[in-house]
């Protein structure tokens, strides 16, 4: 599936869709990129994908 990722600068909050104006928040999408997971927001109304420059680091599993 092809989609355009729109970059967004996170100000105080990111709740309303800048494309369609939907006001009730976003779905989350995660994409693995090497040892990081990139976090994207998807509008449930218009389905545009937004990049707020958020990422997670994958911790290595340690022995028990």
The CA distance from 45 to 50, in Å, is 13
* Domain region containing 45: 5-57
Identify which of 21, 7, 13 has the alpha carbon closest to the alpha carbon of residue 51: 7
Residue 51 falls inside a structural domain: yes
Residue 47 lies in a domain: yes
Residue 23: strand pairing partners: none
Q: Does the pLDDT value for residue 1 go beyond 70?
A: no
Domain membership flag for residue 64: no
Determine the Cα–Cα distance for residues 53 and 61; give it in Å rounded to an integer: 25
pLDDT in tens, 20-60: 999 999 999 999 988 899 999 999 999 999 999 999 987 77
């Amino acid at each position: 599936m092809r989609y355009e990722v729109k970059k967004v600068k996170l100000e105080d909050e990111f709740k309303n869709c800048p494309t369609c104006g939907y006001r009730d928040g976003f779905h989350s999408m995660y994409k693995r990129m090497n040892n990081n997971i990139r976090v994207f927001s998807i509008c449930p109304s218009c389905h545009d994908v937004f990049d707020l420059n958020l990422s997670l680091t994958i911790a290595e599993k340690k022995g028990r």
